[in-house]
Amino acid sequence: MEILRVPDPVPTDVLAGLVEVLRDAVRDGASVGFVRVPAVPDAEQWWRRYLPGGWTWVATEDVRGSVRVVGTVSLRVDQPENAPHRAELTKLLVHRDSRGRGVASRLVAAAEGAAAVAGRTLLVLDTETGSPAEGVYERWGWHRVGTIEGYAVNPAGHVAGTTVFSKVLRASSAAAGG
């Protein structure tokens, strides 16, 4: 497995992989902004609008001589003027047939490391309340801030809450000038 930051412009094969991972996540019930599995052209358009303003990584694997995107995560770094130290971790998605192999932890580690190098010392995220992700983020050292009831409609059609997490990072010595 290799973790790569998505370049601008996004290569066609990487975009196709991002589309497949997004569609698989929504098909599996992930509450990531969609209530129905988006058609391929709609998912492509969504990614093209989403990628600017942030940093995105993909996890890739060689499958029978072809590179396949099996997961992704993003850091939204387009923060207000008074928040140059902050970023939001978003869209941590791992294809169902690649789960349980450390893909998510490697993606998050890459995002956290890049954030620290860039001097981002506070990360925030939200995830559906009651989802298995809550326990995963806590195991990775994220602090549960609180919940917001009735936050979004999930793909099952239910209004669900969201749980907000934060994590304080130490700025790396590269960002601190030494």
pLDDT at position 31: 84
CATH number given to 2-119: 3.40.630.30
Give the DSSP letter string of 103-118: HHHHHHHHHHHHHHHT
pTM for the model: 0.90
d(CA 95, CA 151): 25
pLDDT above 90 covers a percentage of the chain that reads 81
Cβ atoms 119, 155 nearer than 8 A: no
List pLDDT tens digits, range 70-81.
Answer: 999 999 999 999
Sequence spans of domains, the chain: 2-119
pLDDT at position 155: 87
pLDDT at position 172: 63
Q: pLDDT by residue for the chain (178 residues), tens digit each?
A: 999 999 989 999 999 999 999 999 999 988 888 999 999 999 999 999 999 979 999 999 987 878 899 999 999 999 999 999 999 999 999 999 999 999 999 999 999 999 999 999 999 999 999 999 999 999 999 999 999 999 999 888 999 999 999 999 986 655 544 4
Residues 6+ apart with CB under 8 A from 117: 172, 174, 175
Cβ atoms 65, 93 nearer than 8 A: no
